[in-house]
Amino acid sequence: MAHGGTQAALAGHATHAGHHHEPQSFWRRYIFSTDHKIIAIQYLLTSLVMAAVGGFLAMLMRVQLGWPGRQWPLLEALMPNAFKGGRMDPDFYYGAVTMHGTIMVFFFLTTALSGGFANFLIPLQIGARDMAFPVLNMISYWLFPVAIVFALASFFVQGGAPGSGWTAYPPLSDREPLGQTLWLISVFILMLAFLAGGINYITTTLNLRTKGMSMSRLPLTVWTLFVTALVGLFAFPALMAAALMLIFDRVGGTHFFDPAGGGDPILWQHLFWFFGHPEVYIVILPAMGIVSEVLATHARKPVFGYRYMVGSTLAIAGLSFIVWGHHMFASGMSPTLGSMFMATTLAIAIPSAVKTFNWLATIYRSKMRFTTAALYAVGFVSLFITGGLTGIILGNPSTDLYFHDTYFVVGHFHFIMGAAALFGVFAGLYHWFPKMFGRMMNERLGKIHFWLTFLGIYGTFFPMHFLGTAGMPRRIYSWEAYQFLGDVATLNHIISISAFVLGAAQLIFAFNLFYSMFRGPKAERNPWQANTLEWWAPSPPPHGNWDEAEPVVYRWPYEYSPKYAPEGVDHIPQWLPEPAVATAGRDGAGAR
Amino acid sequence: MPTTTRKPPRTRHRLRRQGAAARPPVPVIAGRRVDTPGRIPPNGRGGGGGWGGGPGDDEARARAATMATWMVVAAVTLMFMGFTSTYVARSAEPGWARQDLPPLLWWNTAVLLASSVTMELARRRARKGLVAGARRALGVTTLLGLAFVAGQVAAWAQWLAAGVVASGSTHAAFFYLLSGVHAAHVAGGLGALLYGMWRLGRPGTPAQMAASMTNIATYWHFVDVLWLYLFALLLW
Ligand code: HEM
Ligand SMILES: [Cu+2]
């Protein structure tokens, strides 16, 4: 933040009086708003609340796994039903497992990234005034709380929350009590919300770009959010179909999946993972876009290999639809089929590696400003590498048959999806907070938050790989009952303590977020001296985003430290007419 | 810290007013005067924001609406592909028994086909600017659509009266599932038809009318073809 207010002056766009916005009531302005930025903030804040709920459930799970069988009188006093007689109730434990996974994947990561950041960034970064369908956008958000109500209600109905995990495999999910039906309805509504949102993101990106904003000049965030919406458009309907059939099974007495009536539970697995694998990319692709953007801005270097970044995004999105079988290696599929799924799975490693090397090349020999956002972006790269390597181990059917449904898988996906996507969210929040709220977050608190989170993540999820190699199954309530697991007690203590540190660190973030929202120092237009269009708008941008006319775009978004620039200029924003100092014929667009 | 400028960056409005040949204001970077070639890259598509005003906005919105319609079609198709894959897998299993479908379905199919004809009529009339005629045709389409949904419900009643329940056989289960989810999509289409009638009563150029009629027709023909497909699947 110390880097002067000059960029605001360079943007030099005095706020014009004479705006013709009718005064709006509080309800129209903040609750039933059609402004993409308000909807973005609604999505973000709601999903952060859900992250807190999901995180709380995780802490309870770690209480049980760290010290199985121990009595917790304090927790009993707080939650008498969950801790009957001081011990965690097994049914509650499995409900917590299911709801933790569901909440984190659907209600936090997907909604924060594809609801929050997509809404905030797409119109601003392409120079539009709003989404193509603002009312549909509002409906998309309001379906989300409806889905939350259905999901959380399952805790309070007869039989409690479903215990079949976020994958809801039948026959267990065919038998569970009422909560499972509520879960299915909730997921169905949420998919509707995502589809409504996705249609907006795709049509807006394709149709509402401002002058000069060609597809080859889109910021990588917009690229990834756009491709993510496409992935969702193709993936969500599969789960919606599966959910409808399971609801039919449960309330209509049909037997699509229930083996007791001749149904086939493996069919559910196919449908679920045809959706489920693309879904994991739905959370990681936007995080990749955010990280690319944040790294380039704070490293003051152009993103390395822009075209390859776009190409690998498309490749990952396409491949993600033909790998679903790697979640079913242990379901008795034919070895031939298994090998085919192995081949497609390992093929994803190639575009993933392209991205990783490009990030490293972007950081390499840069003058990185280690802001909190930059730290989170670098942390993301570290987590992505660790999780990607264990993915390759699991992608081989021969090793996966051993690791399947052990804590090794839990370690893998928490690194690559849980933690990496979480880091993407944090990088984005610290980076765009000034634009969202017109105030700066506290960097000192941010850095403390980063380091505790980073160490907490490694401390929590790295040892899980060893639990997996020791044979500890996932979704287990009382591992101490198995003799061969006797020596994992120490690891489980370490993991639980790390998890509590990780959880506590988030309180620092929550404080920083809400304090800075109201009390933080006022932000300039462009505090990070970034090149993308949103930094041309006032902080926070008004309804309609641009004061008088949409900006015009002259070059790609990563013109950092260009050699041809005059002394003291280390970035040339997209909205600035091309300076003649540029070497003749040199066009800012494209890769370099 | 030395970057400043005297003038705001060039905006599109100013461009329009001055014409392409006019020199934009000259920004100053790092205390130096920096000349601007004033070149708008040729590859920019540019649609204008969705904020009302200029003709570009309406065009962009119309393009977006057409795309959105096709995306809805794609998403619904994919959902029914999910059902289909399960149907195909289950029908190959031993113990699969197909029952005869209620004959009423043939009549319903004819009604739905007829509604596509009237929909097409509405679309063509709207394109020619015959607003009143287009509204009448949309009204007939709506009635035929309602008749179709009512007919499907009657077909379910017939089957239920004959004792064929969803939990009885997988084929029966698929019949209730597929026709039910399809009927829900027809009901959504009825909403679109009502919107179309409202839209035709509002001011707009024939081109705009025709554009939104085309989107409604796309969806309506789609649910029609979808039913033909499902009917064939269930019969087969
Ligand atoms: C190099 C790339 C990757 C490979 C080869 C890979 C491979 C695998 C395999 C084979 C499994 C199944 C393990 C089992 O259940 O036995 C798995 C599980 C999982 N992976 Fe990956 N993965 C990769 C990247 C990712 C990414 C990028 C994400 C998310 C952003 C992700 C998220 C998950 C999740 C959530 C699961 C567990 C699902 C569950 O059973 O609940 N993976 N991975
Ligand atoms: Cu996968």
How large a percentage of chain A has pLDDT more than 70? 94
Q: Count Cβ neighbours within 10 Å for each residue of A208-227 and write b for 16 or more, e otherwise.
A: bbbbbbbeebbbbbbbbbbb
For residue B4, being part of any structural domain is answered with no
Cβ pair B34:A209 closer than 8 A: no
Least confident among A5-19, A133-147, A224-238, A400-414: A5-19
Q: Residues of A with CB below 8 A from B170's CB?
A: 254-256, 262-263
**Helix A118-126 to helix A178-207 angle, to the nearest 10 degrees?**
0
Among the ranges A81-95, A163-177, B12-26, B141-155, which has the highest mean pLDDT value?
Answer: B141-155
For residue B38, being part of any structural domain is answered with no
- How sure is the predictor about A147, in pLDDT bands with cuts at 50, 70 and 90? very high
On average, the pLDDT of chain A sits at: 91
Q: What is the pLDDT of residue A549?
A: 83
The span from the CA of A119 to the CA of A112, in Å, is 10
Mean pLDDT of A249-274: 94
Q: What is the pLDDT of residues B186-212, one digit of tens each?
A: 999 999 999 999 999 888 888 888 999
Output the 3-class SS for A150-165: HHHHCCCCCCCCCCCC
Which residues surround ligand 1 with Cβ inside 6 Å? A 167, 280, 283-284, 326-327, 345, 348-349, 352, 388, 391-392, 394-395, 400, 403-404, 409, 412-413, 416-417
How large a percentage of chain B has pLDDT more than 90? 65
For residue B120, being part of any structural domain is answered with yes
Outline where A300-419 has alpha helix (H). 306-319, 335-347, 349-363, 372-395, 397-403, 407-413
Q: What is the pLDDT of residues A501-545, one digit of tens each?
A: 999 999 999 999 999 999 999 999 999 999 999 999 999 999 889
Q: What is the pLDDT of residues A366-384, one digit of tens each?
A: 999 999 999 999 999 999 9
For residue B207, being part of any structural domain is answered with yes
Q: Residues of A with CB below 8 A from B24's CB?
A: 577
Mutating which of A122, A274, A554 best tests the B interface, going by the most B Cβ atoms within 10 A?
Answer: A554
Q: What is the pLDDT of residue A589?
A: 34
| Min distance A483 CA to chain B CA atoms (Å) | 42
Residue A543 in contact with partner chain B when CB distance is under 8 A:
no
For residue B117, being part of any structural domain is answered with yes
Q: Residues of B with CB below 8 A from A579's CB?
A: 27, 29, 34-36
Q: What is the pLDDT of residues A47-62, one digit of tens each?
A: 999 999 999 999 999 9
Least confident among A55-64, A139-148, A170-179, A505-514: A170-179
Domains and CATH numbers, chain A: 19-547 (1.20.210.10)
Amino acid at B206: P
Structural domain count, chain B = 1
Domain CATH for B79: 1.20.120.80
Q: Which residues surround ligand 2, an ion (CB under 5 A)?
A: A 277
Least confident among A293-307, A448-462, A548-562: A548-562
Contact A545, A537 (CB under 8 A): yes
For residue B222, being part of any structural domain is answered with yes
Given a cut of 80, is residue A423 above it in pLDDT? yes
**Pocket-testing residue among A97, A327, A354, ligand 1, by greatest number of atoms within 8 A of Cβ:** A327
The span from the CA of A561 to the CA of A552, in Å, is 21
Instruction: Return the ligand 1 atom nearest residue A389 CA.
Output: 1
| Closest to A236 in 3D by CA, of B181, B77, B178, B182 | B77
The span from the CA of B151 to the CA of B108, in Å, is 6
- How sure is the predictor about A567, in pLDDT bands with cuts at 50, 70 and 90? confident
In chain B, what are the helix, strand and coil shares in percent, each to the nearest 5? Answer: 70, 0, 30
Handedness of CA A169, A175, A177, A183 (dihedral sign): positive
Give me the domain span that covers residue B163. 57-94+103-235
- How sure is the predictor about A579, in pLDDT bands with cuts at 50, 70 and 90? low
Given a cut of 80, is residue A577 above it in pLDDT? yes
Q: What is the pLDDT of residue A52?
A: 98
- Ligand 1 centroid to Cα of residue A403, in Å, is 12
Q: What is the pLDDT of residues B47-56, one digit of tens each?
A: 333 333 334 5
Contact A383, A420 (CB under 8 A): yes
**Helix (H), strand (E) at residue B33:** strand B32-33
Given a cut of 60, is residue B42 above it in pLDDT? no
Mean pLDDT of A245-262: 93
Instruction: Name the phi and psi angles at B32, rounded to 5.
Output: -100, 150
Given a cut of 60, is residue A408 above it in pLDDT? yes
Cβ pair B10:A577 closer than 8 A: yes
- How sure is the predictor about A310, in pLDDT bands with cuts at 50, 70 and 90? very high
How large a percentage of chain A has pLDDT more than 90? 84
Mean pLDDT of A68-92: 91
Q: Residues of B with CB below 8 A from A198's CB?
A: 71
Cβ pair B1:A6 closer than 8 A: yes
Q: What is the pLDDT of residue A6?
A: 35
Q: Residues of B with CB below 8 A from A12's CB?
A: 4-9, 27
For residue B226, being part of any structural domain is answered with yes
Q: What is the pLDDT of residue B24?
A: 39
Residue A195 in contact with partner chain B when CB distance is under 8 A:
yes
- Ligand 2 centroid to Cα of residue A172, in Å, is 22
What single-letter DSSP state applies at residue A218?
Answer: S
- How sure is the predictor about A22, in pLDDT bands with cuts at 50, 70 and 90? low
Q: What is the pLDDT of residue A23?
A: 61
**Pocket-testing residue among A394, A415, A425, A461, ligand 1, by greatest number of atoms within 8 A of Cβ:** A394
Coil, strand, or helix at residue A565? coil
Q: Which ligand is nearest to the CA of A324?
A: 2
Mutating which of A13, A16, A139, A211 best tests the B interface, going by the most B Cβ atoms within 10 A?
Answer: A211
For residue B45, being part of any structural domain is answered with no
Please tell me which of the candidates A207, A550, A580 has its beta carbon nearest to residue B36.
Answer: A580
Given a cut of 70, is residue B10 above it in pLDDT? no
Cβ pair A254:B82 closer than 8 A: no
- How sure is the predictor about B12, in pLDDT bands with cuts at 50, 70 and 90? very low
Q: What is the pLDDT of residues B170-192, one digit of tens each?
A: 999 999 999 999 999 999 999 99
Nearest protein CA to atom 23 of ligand 1, as residue:
A391
pTM score, whole prediction = 0.89
| Closest to A41 in 3D by CA, of A428, A532, A373, A374 | A428
Q: What is the pLDDT of residues A327-355, one digit of tens each?
A: 999 999 999 999 999 999 999 999 999 99
Handedness of CA A420, A520, A19, A39 (dihedral sign): positive
Given a cut of 70, is residue A246 above it in pLDDT? yes
Given a cut of 70, is residue B147 above it in pLDDT? yes
- In degrees, rounded to 5, the angle at the alpha carbon of residue A499 between the alpha carbons of residues A494 and A502 is 130
- How sure is the predictor about A578, in pLDDT bands with cuts at 50, 70 and 90? low
- Ligand 2 centroid to Cα of residue A135, in Å, is 34
On average, the pLDDT of chain B sits at: 81
Q: What is the pLDDT of residue B47?
A: 38
Q: Residues of B with CB below 8 A from A565's CB?
A: 29-30
